[in-house]
Structure 1
Amino acid sequence: MYGKLSFHELEQIHSNLPHLRHLELRRLCTIGDIPRDAIPCNTLRTLKLEMRNGHLWGQYFALKYANLEELHILNRHPIPLSFVREIKFLASANKHLKVLNTAGESSYSILKILARVNAPVAAIHHTISDAFLFSKMIRSFQNSLSTISVSDQPEISRAEVLQQLQSCPSLINLDLWWLGGVVEIDWILSKLPNLKQLSVQADSISVSSTHGIARTHRKLEKLELDAHDISDKTYMYLSKSCTRLYFLSCWYLAEVVQSRTVYYPHTGLKCLQIRNGGASTFCTSGPTHCMYKLIRMNEVERIRERDEQHDRLAEDMERRTSAGAQWFHRTSWYDKMDVHPMKTPSDAQNKLCVYSDRECCYTQSTTPETRGNQQKPGNIPVVSIVCHYVDEIKLDGLQVLS
């Protein structure tokens, strides 16, 4: 629902929906005064608001909906101070709120109110970058918090962040934005073994030198990795240690310039998504290319690998089954990206010839500096994927197997 509405009109609409549990109002402009005979609604649990104009709406919704479990403020940052005041009215009336989703600094003051009324907040969908506020929010909601987003904080180390998160027994969903240095996945999971979903964005993602003796993590089900560099060892560790993982998404934020191996033979995996940086940031300095080689293991090969070293097996598996590999060629040119299935590596090289004339013409019209950044057809990186028969595989956002 969206548009300009008076509070009396909202009352009339609501009178015809006595059992409403979910309400979404977009681009709403409220007019008029709050009716004296406004009737509270005890059934509504989720409220999503995008306000354009008006006043008193926070007070009206606080009177109307005092049993909310989810509050989503859909306005983009920055939110006007007058709106923040109205949101505070609404938040202070809802002592049972579990999910807060709002943008910018407004969330800080709202969280303080929710902590004051002892609301059982379970999910904070806003990246907390202030160290003092982060510590305060953890203390306030440590018994109920299940979902949180965290970014790097100069005043507090990453080890201290994980130590504080360990005090949250219900935490199962974590979103980390740690953009400096190397982030070791096994270290995170060893500190927070109850995680079911983990999303990490970093400059580099790998595993520690002790990952070979890491314990099994039986709860992690969904993992998203976004980084300029993701170590091949990461996948070997995940396949061996995360036995319930069914969804794995890996995004190389920078264009892959050297061959990679995604080795994941565990049969629990149902969905695998691989993205290369050039697929999202389209190249304007000439076409970019990437080859994907997909090798799928049968049950005999999978059983054999259990007693062998993962490092050696990844190489052996690629050599033994390359004849039956499936090849895909990805090209990105300005605003167009394509993934083409190929029968053999030679087919891919032939495909590159289609782009050669176009590439040569473009090279003649570019500067020497830009020309130096272009990818040469003979240096196309190969991303090898070794896995069992996964239900769904997506390469650069395009579904190639299902």
Structure 2
Amino acid sequence: MDLLEARARALAAAAPGTVRLRVVGHSRAGRPLWMLSAGHGERQMLTVAGAHANEPVGGASALRLARLLAHRPALLDRLDCTWHILLCLDPDGARLAHGWQPEEPAPSLEQCHLRFYRPAFDRQPESLPSPGDPRPPLPESATLLRLLDELRPAVQFTLHGIEVGGAFAMLTRHVPGAAAAFRDTAARLGVPLDRHPADGPDWQLDPPAVLHLPAGRAADPDDAGERDPSGYVAGSTWLHPRRYGTLTALVEAPAWAAPAVSDDRPAADPHGEVARLTGLLLRRTRRLTDLLAGTPDTAVPDRLAPLRDAARELLAIAPAVVDTWTAEEHTGCRGHFATLGIAARRIPLRAAAMMRRALAPGAPHTADALAGLAREWCAELTRTYRPVWTPVPAQTALHVRTMLDIAARVGP
């Protein structure tokens, strides 16, 4: 975060007529939320980076976009827009995850998980309290909601990244030409597409790699019928600005690309694949649950409690994930089952990595056993899917080119 802030300051100082930097809010721990704004056009664009602590590439993409706009203000004039860039929505989470940065040389998958942290769902700032929950939004969420209400942007871009998989995009409504352009951008950058993402099971697939929110779902902010066990899209900052006609576009870039997720050949035995993958997920989460049985909360220092809580949530939602996958109609391609296979491995791997960090001070022997599992599972994932590091310039280019293309296609 310190480096991100320093680079933003330098950029604003170098282009004072085009770029402005200001604090728009503060995190739960009092850290500033920095926003760069470029241009003076009528249309408003908003880019949100750093919503998830385990996805640091969003900050690098945000700075790349800001540098481009600072050096080529004609882009802003052509779009007639002012572009606002929230550099990191969750600086507290980023601080706890510090250690995996989107810089070359590439880390190994195991190195990535040495400092892994992804907050529990109710501590992720793009998530809002579910219907009936009396808790107020997080301070970071409240800041984003205020910005959305003030700016009423034509587009809200939210930049994401996954450890292993393929590129995909999620749009809260159909934009003519946007899906084809996204696929073309990924192809030119050599980034495999996730043909059928596991995210958004209630979203409409525009294959390959693009999901649209069905019109009926977008019209119902209180819909509690979603099947995604990680949380409710209807209660998120993604859909909050739809009252202003705002399009929200999520762009996912893989740190390690797994070509298997692009395989469009039909799966020979869809039901058998689902059974195999759900069995793997349940076996690994049960193995973790058994290993952690009897470990007291006092073994985890207060400062590391968010790691423990996030790991426990992953173990708790595994059965719901299994129910969701089992209930789906699986007649799809091999790429879809590669995506599910990666997800089945990712959930217990993340839990093991975070619980290892949480227990290292108070229960080192259990932490060592968790480290061994994380090492074993990283190696098995690598053997199975042969992921290849995606160069950071390709990851950030996927974000930036997609944002510019969609901005040009969305009317005022």
What TM-score comes out, normalization by structure 2 length?
0.25
Structure number with higher strand proportion: 1
Structure number with higher helix proportion: 2
| Max Rg structure | 1
More relative contact order, 1 or 2 (CA 8 Å, 6+ apart):
2
What TM-score comes out, normalization by structure 1 length?
0.25
